[in-house]
A and B are shown apart, each in its own frame.
Chain A
Amino acid sequence: MNQVPVIELQGICTSFRGFAVHQDLSLQVHAGQIVGLLGGSGSGKTTLLREILGLHRPDAGLVRLFGVDLNDPDVELQRQLRRRLGMLFQHGALFSALSVFDNIAFPLRELHCLDEDWIRRLVHLKLAMVGLGNGHGKLMPAELSGGMVKRVALARALALEPELLLLDEPTAGLDPDRSQNFVELIGDLQRELGLTVVMVTHDLNTLAGLASHVAVLADHRILAFGTRDEIMTVDHPFVTGFFGADRRKLL
């Protein structure tokens, strides 16, 4: 699996109403890496994530996932590609009209290949994976607490056992204890399933607990990409400012 990079971005340019967000941005993520995407507010982290998902088309540049161009016109190929990635939205984006069980079962049912018994077993497995019990399946998303919404959303993102998992602020809005649990949960899953993970986060603890690699997004491009230790030594006002006093804690 070391030949084709999981994510390959080349020369991405994006602008909103003449205001440039990305200029000639390039990034390569390989299988098994956990990449933390850092950047100031408004530096285009979420936009970049949306571009990787194909929800937003950059003005120029190339996005390849698993070596497949996202602009490829082959609809079936695009569908297969989407099955290989899972996304955890910042606010969960659970289907509010479906129960927790049906939310997780939804992507499985959409395959139209699995029987109900199979789907039930898989949903229970996923629920157990994110530390939720059988009884939670009947609840509606509106009845869940913030942390549970994130867990269910993660279970749904993992329903198809994707090779690539994208996380947008996975621990934002959780208390430190829960966010530590969540970090451990994602870390365990990554080891078990051999996922490639890209996450946007502001939280240093999440970054320290999870990321194997760090990409710094500043000045409209990827300023630095490397392992955590390498990034520590980068001398740039944003990086030094961001890590600041916490640099010791991370190491």
Chain B
Amino acid sequence: MSDIPRLRVESGTVVLSGPWTLAEMLPMLDLLRSGLEAVPASVRHWDLSAVSRLDSAAAVLLWRSWQGAWPASLAIGPLHRQVIARVAELPQEMPPPPVAFVHLPEFLGRQVLKALANLRGLITLFGQLLLDCAYLARYPGQIPWREFSANVYKAGALALPVTALVGFLIGVTISYLSALQLKTFGADVFIVNILGISIIRELGPVLVAVLVAGRSGSAMTAQIGVMRVTEEIDALSTMGISRSIRVVLPKIFGLTVAMPLLVLWTSSVALLGGMLAALLQLDLSLVYFLENLPRAVPVANLLIGLGKGVVFGFVIAVVACHFGLHVRPNTESLSANTTSAVVTAITTVILVDAVFAIFTRHVGVPQL
């Protein structure tokens, strides 16, 4: 391998020698190219008999420098001539693959159609779910209890630490910031109202929904997606096991059950954080806080919060399963669908939350 590709022009003949392969040419590619370009067009004699190896990359390079025609005389071994002959058989012009231009109306139209297709898919999934429920009501022996409990454990029990941590910190933050404002008005005791209403009714459910969409929603999409890529879903169908009853249904009902429990847990921890911050900042005792909480926050707020938890859990799981079932067998599609699942789930949750806010605007607000 001590040899290197060489090129020299002597008395009207271009003489190439050494190994002309991609690996050998790479370190001195520019030199060789400029050498080939510098060969005057009048030189029509090429001697390649001293070339030890010639690969197709070098053959393409030579063929291009010959401008797509055999030179007048060429001394070359039969094996190497074959290599160049194969390059010569290629079409002279290699048009680049057409680049697809994207027009704005077309792009927008596509997006709308995609959104409609997703909506349709979600409705189909919902319908399938109802049919499955009817089927399971007739054959209660086939209810997948084990998968259901596994999902409650995975999406619920394993999410306890992270939701607690985030909830506690949010509680501390809100309490601390509100306390600063309330102090200036001397309205310290209203910290109970602010924390109670905001956390139990609004922040708890939404916070948990965002966390769960990122944590469990993406996991569901990825799991179902990979099961599709590896044909595990098809394997289930061939065994006569319904994929929707065994894979989709336990996930949806598991999360629907686990979410309100998570909301309850997170709201409690957030309130605890808020109480501690109030104790430190406003000297408001924990006992006073707890005694006044039921008076300041009617129990309807708790029910609204838990109701939101149920709906949010259902929405997140349905969206995640829908996108998981539409993963095509390649890595790009898997990542795109997981992203869409999380983004759509969070957006839908916020949308549903707004609807909740409008329809429950007269419920659970304390009359002073």
Chain A residues within 8 Å of B, Cβ to Cβ: 66, 80, 83-84, 95-97, 101, 111, 113-114, 116-118, 120-122, 124-126, 128, 137-138, 140-142, 160-161, 163, 192-194
CA distance A237 to B123 in the complex (A): 63
Asked if B263 lies at the interface with its beta carbon under 8 angstroms from chain A, I say no
Cβ contact within 8 Å between B60 and A121: yes
Residues of B within 8 A of A142 (CB): 328-330
Cβ contact within 8 Å between A161 and B97: no
* Dominant SS among interface residues on chain B: helix
Cβ contact within 8 Å between A141 and B94: no
Cβ contact within 8 Å between A194 and B332: no
CA distance A97 to B329 in the complex (A): 9
B55, B86, B89, B331: the one contacting A161 at CB < 8 Å is B55
- Having A83-B23, A96-B330, A125-B60, one finds 19 other A-B pairs with CB under 8 Å, namely A96-B329, A96-B332, A101-B97, A113-B26, A117-B94, A118-B60, A120-B96, A121-B90, A122-B56, A125-B86, A126-B56, A128-B89, A137-B97, A138-B97, A142-B330, A160-B23, A161-B55, A163-B23, A192-B79
CA distance A168 to B92 in the complex (A): 36
Cβ contact within 8 Å between A125 and B97: no
Known: A83-B23, A125-B87. A193 touches B329 (CB 8 A): no
CB of A74 to closest CB in B, whole Å: 15
Cβ contact within 8 Å between A97 and B332: yes
Chain B residues within 8 Å of A, Cβ to Cβ: 1, 21-23, 26, 29, 53, 55-57, 60-61, 64, 79, 82-83, 86-87, 89-90, 94, 96-97, 328-332
Known: A83-B23, A97-B332, A161-B22. A124 touches B55 (CB 8 A): no
CA distance A161 to B55 in the complex (A): 7
CB pairs A–B below 8 angstroms (22 shown): A66-B1, A95-B331, A97-B332, A101-B97, A111-B26, A113-B26, A114-B57, A116-B96, A121-B60, A121-B94, A122-B57, A122-B60, A125-B90, A138-B97, A140-B330, A142-B330, A160-B23, A161-B57, A192-B79, A192-B82, A193-B55, A194-B53
Cβ contact within 8 Å between A84 and B23: yes
CB of B230 to closest CB in A, whole Å: 11
CA distance A22 to B83 in the complex (A): 41
* Nearest-CB residue, chain B, relative to A161: B55
Cβ contact within 8 Å between A97 and B64: no
* Nearest-CB residue, chain A, relative to B95: A120
* Nearest-CB residue, chain A, relative to B329: A142
CB of B132 to closest CB in A, whole Å: 29
Cβ contact within 8 Å between B56 and A125: yes
Task: Give 9 nearest A-B pairs by CB, closest first.
Answer: A96-B330, A97-B332, A161-B55, A120-B94, A142-B329, A121-B60, A125-B56, A96-B331, A97-B331
Known: A101-B97, A117-B94, A125-B90. A160 touches B22 (CB 8 A): yes
Residue from B29, B56, B82 whose CB has the most chain A CB atoms within 10 Å? B56
Residues of A within 8 A of B82 (CB): 192
Cβ contact within 8 Å between B61 and A118: yes
CA distance A91 to B64 in the complex (A): 36
CB of A190 to closest CB in B, whole Å: 13
Residue from A116, A128, A161 whose CB has the most chain B CB atoms within 10 Å? A161
Residues of A within 8 A of B328 (CB): 142
Residues of A within 8 A of B61 (CB): 118
Cβ contact within 8 Å between B94 and A124: yes
A66, A118, A120, A194: the one contacting B57 at CB < 8 Å is A118
CA distance A83 to B96 in the complex (A): 26
CB of B350 to closest CB in A, whole Å: 31
Residues of B within 8 A of A124 (CB): 90, 94
Cβ contact within 8 Å between A118 and B64: yes
Known: A97-B332, A117-B94. A128 touches B21 (CB 8 A): no
Residues of A within 8 A of B330 (CB): 96-97, 140-142
Residues of A within 8 A of B332 (CB): 96-97
* Nearest-CB residue, chain A, relative to B25: A113
Residues of A within 8 A of B86 (CB): 125, 128
CB of A151 to closest CB in B, whole Å: 17
CA distance A83 to B26 in the complex (A): 11
CA distance A38 to B35 in the complex (A): 48
CA distance A121 to B87 in the complex (A): 8
CB of B78 to closest CB in A, whole Å: 12
* Nearest-CB residue, chain B, relative to A121: B60
Residues of B within 8 A of A101 (CB): 97
CB of A16 to closest CB in B, whole Å: 24
CB of A48 to closest CB in B, whole Å: 25
CA distance A4 to B1 in the complex (A): 10
Residues of A within 8 A of B331 (CB): 95-97
CA distance A137 to B86 in the complex (A): 19
CB of B246 to closest CB in A, whole Å: 25
CA distance A117 to B64 in the complex (A): 10
CB of B331 to closest CB in A, whole Å: 5
CA distance A96 to B332 in the complex (A): 8
CB of B352 to closest CB in A, whole Å: 34
Residue from B29, B79, B90, B96 whose CB has the most chain A CB atoms within 10 Å? B90
CA distance A118 to B94 in the complex (A): 9
CA distance A117 to B332 in the complex (A): 27
CA distance A161 to B260 in the complex (A): 61
CA distance A138 to B96 in the complex (A): 12
Residues of A within 8 A of B97 (CB): 101, 137-138
Residues of B within 8 A of A194 (CB): 53
Residues of B within 8 A of A83 (CB): 22-23
